[in-house]
Each structure stands twice: as C-alpha cells, then as structure tokens.
Chain A
Amino acid sequence: MLSRIAESLFWIGRYLERADDTARILDVELQVLVEDPMVDEEHSCRQLLKVMGVEELPSVVNRWTVLDLLAHNPDSYSSIASTVDAARENARGARETLSTDMWAAINTMWRGLPSARAMRSTDMFAWVRNRTAMIAGIADSTMTRDEGWQFFVLGRSIERVDMTARLLSTASLAGETQLAWPTTLRACGAYEAFIRAYRGVEADSLAAEFLLLDRWFPRSVVSALVEAEKALSTLEAGGQRSGFSDEGLRLLGRARTELEYRPLAEIVYDLPTEMERLQRSCAAASEAVTSRYFSLAESRVWSEGVTL
C-alpha cells in the first residue's frame, strides 16, 4: 500500500474519532454548566480548553467561546468543524482505496455539517456521534481487512486513548460537582454498563477505573490500547520471538501495562498528570508509526530522482 494512502487512512481514523470524542466532551461540559449552578463557568471552561490543547485563550472565556473554539470555528484546529474537514480532505486524497459507501458517508457528513451547526448544541453533538458511528459501521462492514483497514483502526484507537484521557482529565478537573462522573459516563455511552458492572455503586474512582481499565467496554483506554496493539502487530509482518522491534508497539504496550499493573489508587491520585503522560505516549506512538510507515511519503528528494 502507498505510504501516502496508509497515512491518510490513519488520519481519517484519528479525525473521525476526534470529532466524535470532542462532541462527547462538549456534551459533558455543557450539561454540567447548565445543570450545576455551583460550577465556576470561567474556570471550568479554561480548564477544558487547556486540556483540549487550545494554546491561545481569548480574554473572556465562557461556554460560547468553548463552543466556538471546539465546535464551530473552522480556523481552530481542535474544532469539530475543522476535524471533519480534515477527515474529508484525507478521504478525498485516498478516495480510490475507500469503499464507495464509506466515501459517500464521510462526504455526506461533511456536506451536512453547516446545517448541523445550525442545530441546538446537544442536537449537533448527537448528530456528530450518529454520523461517526454510521461511518464506523460502514467501514466495519465494507472495508477489506487489508493494511488500509489496520491503519484506519490504529488511528482510531490511538485517538480514542488520547481523547478518553482528555475526557477523564476534564471530569476530574471539574472539581466538586456531583455531576461530572455520571455525565462523563453517559457521554461515553457507558453509564448503564458501569452501573451494571458495579451493581449500582457510584464512586468517582470506580468511574475512572471503568473508563480506564475495563477490558469489556470498547471505549475504555485499555480496550483502545489493545486494539491499537493488535493493529500494529498485524502490520508487523512475521512477528518477533522476543521483545518488540516496533517502537510504536513498544510504546503502546508500555502505556497499557503501566495502567494495568499499577495500583488504581496511584493512578487516580493525580489523574490529570497521569492522563497527560498517556497522551504523550500516544503522541510518541503516532510518531513512531509515522517514521516507520509513512516517512517515505514525506521525503521528496529531487536530485536523487534524476538518473543520468
């Protein structure tokens, strides 16, 4: 498979997941702001923007600036609008390798974004979640399980780890509010699963544990890490007798074992810092994948190409 196409599929996976997760995160944030009068809007919004990697904050920060920067503004890299745009642009460049249905689904989402943005926020977020779920479903049932698929899944899984880590940070930074964890679980579609798994016991640390470590829940960090590792080992031809020669695989495996084999109390003690570490692992893994599989696409050496 062409390096450029592999890279596009990786990023289509990442961007679609990012759109989905950003919608989920915003949903939590806005609900908490609406439902809990005790929350300091300015502080909470600043925290969120920081967690989402928005570097330059405007002088006034409130729910509307958050919505602008994370949902609507096409010039803001973290916004849903620019994420969907980027997914579609990558899909356009890899169009011949996507199934027709998948291309049409991505293109339709992109075309529908302006009218979705005119909806009420919660409706827009539901729309984004539905659309990305639909694309994921179509990808799942129409894409052949070749390298392209593995890169798509790899991108999606790494992004999911990264974004779930941000979501957990947001919840823990929300502070005193009683609503943060239940709302976070709901945003992940995990509330009922969580209640069933823990038989109705609600505690913040348990919610964090569920979203971090539950092996059965597909949006948990560990599940996503396992998925990413699976995709990478499939890409790695042959397999290794000992150790891991692939840097990406090594990084992801280490991140997963650090979560799985350390006492939970240690992780949740300073969740935001732990989650930042997790995000750094994701970034490093992504870079390792890039330099191993995609770097050929980047280099463009003119003199080398001329044969005499």
Chain B
Amino acid sequence: MNETSLFDDYGPMVGFDEMYAGPVSGPAVRDEYGAIHEAFRSMGDDEIRVRADALASSYLDQGVTFGVAGEERPFPLDIVPRVIEAADWRHVDLGVQQRVKALEAFLADVYGPGELFNDGVVPRETVVTSPHYHRVVAGLEPANGVRVHVAGVDLIRDGEGNFRVLEDNVRVPSGVSYVMTNRRALSGALPEVFADHRIRPVQQYSRNLLAGLRAASPAGVSDPTVVVLTPGVYNSAYFEHTLLARTMGVELVEPRDLVCQGGRVLMRTTRGLEPVHVIYRRIDDDFIDPAQFRPDSMLGVPGLVTAARAGNVTIANAIGNGVADDKLLYTYVPDLIRYYLSEEPILRNVDTWRMGEAEQREEVLDRLDELVLKPVDGSGGKGIVIGPAASPAELDELRAKIHADPRAWIAQPVISLSTVPTLVEQGIRPRHVDLRPFAVNTGDDVHVLPGGLTRVALPEGELIVNSSRGGGSKDTWVLADPLVDPDPLDEVAIEEPEVSRRDKTRKDKPRSGVAQLQSQAQGAQTQTQGAQTQGAPTIDGQVV
C-alpha cells in the first residue's frame, strides 16, 4: 500500500497554507505541523479513513448536531487538526482582549453619555440608524458594567499569514460547544498525536463563563441563580445551549419556563416559582421581550426588559449590543481602540469601503466585479455577493440595491483565506478556514479561550465557511509556550472550585514567565501552594 497517497495531489495552494510553507514536494512542512504531518503519513490511508469514520459516527450517536432549516445535521469534524503556535496565539489573544475592551467602552458610551459623538469619532447617525440600536436600553447600567459577557471575534489569515478581523460578534456568538466536543472527540481519535504535543486545554470554558455570569449578578445577590435561555429544541444551536447548561450545572430554560412578576423574573419549578438572577440568553434582541420588541414573538418573555431595568436580573449579553457588530460600525473599530484605549490596534481589520460615503461608493461601483459586497446587518453569510463569482445580472441587481440603500452595504477585497489540509473524498486537500476565538469578560479580565472554532469550507475553493452553508470544523490546537504556559494538563486539574475566589488569586499571580516557572517549582513542594499558583490559568498575554 502506498502510504503517502492521501497527501498526493495536495494543491494547488492559493494563498497561505498553514501546514506547508512551500510546494508539497519539498521539505516545507511548517514546524508546528511537523509531528502531525509525520503521524498522518505513517498511519496510512486506510487507518486515517477508519478513524475518520469512527469520529463521524461517534458524533452521530452523541447527537452533536447543528440545525439547518429545522433539521438536525451532524456537525462535521475534520480529522486533521489545525495548529496555532504559541507566539501567534499570544498576538491573537491580546488583540481579541483589546477589541472586546474597546467595544465595551463603545457600548457604554453609546447607551450612556455619548461622548464619542461629540468628539466626532463615529457619526451619531451611523449608530442610531443601526437596526440593532435599541433606545429602550439607553441609560440601563449593567450590574458590573459588562455588556459583552461573551464575544466571538471572527478572524482569518491573509495571504501573508497575518490574522485579520473579519467581524465581531457580541450579541449571541455561537460555536463554542463544538470547540469542546471537537477536542474530546479528536483526542479519542488521535491519542498518540496528542501525546506528541503540548496543547492548551479548552474544557475550562464553561467554568470561565459561569464565573463571568456570576460576576454580573444584580447587586445584593450573593448566590445568584444563573440560567441559560434557549428558544427551544428547534433552534440551530440547541445542542450548544444544552451543552453549556449541562457543563455549567445550571438550568436550561425555555421562555415558557419563565414568568415576570413585580419586576422580577421567576421560573416554574416542581416546587413553585423560583427567582432567576442572571440569564445567559441565546435569543436575539428582537424576540426576547414581546412587551418591548416584536409583540408577535412567541419566543420571548414579556417583562424581561422591565426586570432588567429594575436591576433585578442581568441579561447576558446585554440587549442592544448588536450595534457593535453592525458591519458598518466594524469599519470604525480601529478608531475606537485608539479613542478609548489610547492604543494602536493589535489585530488589523480587513480593508473596507463604506457605501454610505459617496467617494468610496463610486470607487467600489466601478470595481464591483473584483470585490466582496456584504450587507451590514447580515449574518451567517446571508446576502454576501462575491464579485468575481457573480454574473453581470447579479451585479446589476446588486448595484441597484446599493443605490437604494447605501448604508446597508460595505465592500471588501476578495481575501484568499488561509488553507489547512482537510480530509475530503479525493484525499487530503487544502480547504479554506477561518477562526472564531471566544472571549469571556468578567469585568476584571477578558479571558480568551485558547484556540476557538475553526470552520472549514468543505467544497473546493469555497470562501464562505458558515455552518449554515454546510461548513465543517477542525479541532484547533494552541501549542503551549514552554517558557510561559504552565503545564496545560495542570491548568484544568488544579483549579479551585470556588470561582470568585480564584479570580482574586489571579490578580496576585506572578507577572513573568520566569517568575511563574519559579513559583511552579516551589508549588511542587507543598500541595496547597501548588494549587494556588498553578491554579491560575496562563497569563501569556500579559507577559509581552
């Protein structure tokens, strides 16, 4: 049997391939992929296929699914992992933290004093014309100042391999459950490959999320009841909702389980009505409270906004956040970072033209067939027109739409997303990927989960990787930096159960990699000491 056949005919590579630094024929495998490449080559084709099949059927039995048009579909997990080396990750981690902090400041300003308008950073009109701007929550001060409890920032790697921000998701970013299930499934499928790497774990996410949600509890509630609010079993991300509730150990409620009385939110239990303090909601703003938004919404809980306004319940993420992931606002984020944080953006945006501005519009309309046009309030790849792939008729239609409502569109150059080897019918082939890292903001810190969801476009050449378009996923490995990261296995194992206290210890932790290594060495001598110092998750971001 020819052991190398699955990798034969790999290519042609367009743009940046994350495994191969050069032609496949040459010895051009990037360092971080060396062991994986070797493992796959020595495993042999049949073995790879057998393991991939086992992976798929384990997902079916566990019901790891994604809903598409009301139908449950398995969420494909590719057997080839994606690897991000420590230094690259440090950059991403810091960049995401920075972005989340800037967006928090922006939202506080928009729903508060509105200083950015007076200082001319963003036109007031740009914000208030966003369909996601909700005047109803203006002046509503969240308990610990956090509006973005969870963020998912979509990144891509451009032709040079630089990470760039494609969009921000600070409403109800989804996908983190697959980060956790992918890891567990792949470690079962490729145990020996895992053993050759030091991969930073991801299972601590639920604990961080719960810590973030508890930190956001209304004033005066010492032991808050946290719930996850789902629209129900027919929602596309229902699997995720169940996983988050289960791993946090909290109730997963549907709107019909909740009732608002006297400005409080209660849930219906076998022992009567019981109070709820923090709602991690996975329902969009428009549907969450029929008393405030769409009166026809059967998904909502009437009175929720009133309860939040009364300070009796925290809704996470906050209502009205959508104004920060409006794609038009995206074009201003670098300015927001400079304005609020007095820092230069760490992660660059993709170059973007605003169709609302006449000069930029003219330029774009001339080059419509070379660019990607996106509706500013679309999600899931809906409405996107890729110029080079569009017919003249489609471009004419697009042109008319832009003229009719210029604010509704932005344009970006076609970026060749980076590729990662992926097992498809023909063998292992380059497929385009993006990356959605997840961040939790506790108010004191922004924790970025190492890695995130790598979505892969399974059809050849396809650039849209969304799950609703039949995309797959990859387990994403962030390699531990031996100088900085504590042993990745210890990170999860020794965390203290008491969440809020652990957050306090975190601030006292040593600030440099060397100091941490020393403290680890000391910690090894006494049990209790070890638990305290090693218990703090990695601080690689702060070392730089």
Residues of B within 8 A of A89 (CB): 233
Contact B257 A107 (CB under 8 A): no
Contact B233 A307 (CB under 8 A): no
- Chain B residue at minimal CB-CB distance from A308: B306
Contact A302 B302 (CB under 8 A): yes
Q: How far is the CA of A147 from the CA of B270 in the complex (A)?
A: 9
Q: In the complex, which of the residues A2, A107, A294 has the most CB atoms of chain B within 10 Å of its own CB atom? A: A2
Contact B302 A108 (CB under 8 A): no
- Chain A residue at minimal CB-CB distance from B300: A305
Contact A297 B268 (CB under 8 A): yes
Known: A96-B242, A96-B245, A307-B307. A1 touches B260 (CB 8 A): no
Residues of A within 8 A of B238 (CB): 92
Q: Which of A57-112 contact B (CB under 8 A)?
A: 89, 92-93, 95-97, 100, 103-104, 107-108, 111
Q: How far is the CA of A111 from the CA of B307 in the complex (A)?
A: 43
A100 CB contact (under 8 Å) in B62, B228, B270: B62
Contact B270 A1 (CB under 8 A): yes
Give chain B nearest CB distance to A47 CB in angstroms.
38
Q: How far is the CA of A265 from the CA of B253 in the complex (A)?
A: 51
Give chain B nearest CB distance to A292 CB in angstroms.
9
Residues of B within 8 A of A308 (CB): 306
A107 CB contact (under 8 Å) in B63, B232, B253: B63
Residues of A within 8 A of B291 (CB): 305-306
Q: How far is the CA of A265 from the CA of B486 in the complex (A)?
A: 76
Contact B60 A297 (CB under 8 A): no
Contact B63 A103 (CB under 8 A): yes
Contact B260 A306 (CB under 8 A): yes
Contact A293 B270 (CB under 8 A): yes
- Chain B residue at minimal CB-CB distance from A302: B302
- Chain B residue at minimal CB-CB distance from A107: B63
A45 at the A/B interface (Cβ < 8 Å)?
Answer: no
Give chain A nearest CB distance to B281 CB in angstroms.
15
B269 at the A/B interface (Cβ < 8 Å)?
Answer: yes
Give chain A nearest CB distance to B302 CB in angstroms.
4
Q: In the complex, which of the residues B241, B253, B270 has the most CB atoms of chain A within 10 Å of its own CB atom? A: B270
Residues of A within 8 A of B290 (CB): 302
B256 CB contact (under 8 Å) in A4, A5, A97, A304: A4
Contact B259 A304 (CB under 8 A): yes
- Chain A residue at minimal CB-CB distance from B63: A107
**Interface bits B295-337 vs A (CB < 8 Å: 1, else 0):** 0000001110011000000000000000000000000000000
Contact A305 B301 (CB under 8 A): yes
Known: A306-B303, A307-B306. A107 touches B268 (CB 8 A): no
Give chain B nearest CB distance to A200 CB in angstroms.
45
A304 CB contact (under 8 Å) in B62, B252, B261, B268: B261
Q: How far is the CA of A235 from the CA of B270 in the complex (A)?
A: 10
**Interface bits B248-283 vs A (CB < 8 Å: 1, else 0):** 000111101101111100011110110000000000
B246 at the A/B interface (Cβ < 8 Å)?
Answer: yes
Q: How far is the CA of A93 from the CA of B290 in the complex (A)?
A: 23
> How many chain B residues touch A (Cβ–Cβ < 8 Å)?
37
- Chain B residue at minimal CB-CB distance from A299: B268
Contact A95 B246 (CB under 8 A): yes
Residues of B within 8 A of A306 (CB): 260, 291, 302-303
Q: How far is the CA of A251 from the CA of B254 in the complex (A)?
A: 32
B268 CB contact (under 8 Å) in A2, A97, A100, A104: A2
Contact B61 A104 (CB under 8 A): yes
Contact A2 B61 (CB under 8 A): no
Give chain A nearest CB distance to B310 CB in angstroms.
9
Contact B62 A305 (CB under 8 A): no
Known: A147-B270, A296-B272. A107 touches B61 (CB 8 A): yes
A300 at the A/B interface (Cβ < 8 Å)?
Answer: yes
A12 at the A/B interface (Cβ < 8 Å)?
Answer: no
Q: In the complex, which of the residues A3, A6, A96, A306 has the most CB atoms of chain B within 10 Å of its own CB atom? A: A96
Residues of B within 8 A of A304 (CB): 259, 261
Q: How far is the CA of A78 from the CA of B422 in the complex (A)?
A: 46
Residues of B within 8 A of A111 (CB): 60-61
- Chain B residue at minimal CB-CB distance from A112: B61
Give chain A nearest CB distance to B271 CB in angstroms.
8
Give chain B nearest CB distance to A247 CB in angstroms.
15
Q: In the complex, which of the residues A103, A147, A294, A306 has the most CB atoms of chain B within 10 Å of its own CB atom? A: A306
Binding site for A on B (CB under 8 A): 60-63, 228, 232-233, 238, 241-243, 245-246, 251-254, 256-257, 259-263, 267-270, 272-273, 290-291, 301-303, 306-307
Chain A to chain B: the 3 pairs with minimum beta-carbon distance, closest first:
A296-B268, A96-B245, A96-B246
Listed A/B pairs (22) with beta-carbon separation below 8 Å: A1-B270, A2-B257, A2-B268, A2-B269, A2-B270, A4-B254, A92-B63, A92-B238, A96-B242, A96-B245, A107-B61, A111-B60, A296-B268, A296-B270, A296-B272, A297-B268, A302-B290, A305-B291, A305-B302, A305-B303, A306-B291, A308-B306
Known: A100-B62, A147-B270. 4 other contacts (CB 8 A): A3-B270, A5-B251, A104-B62, A302-B290
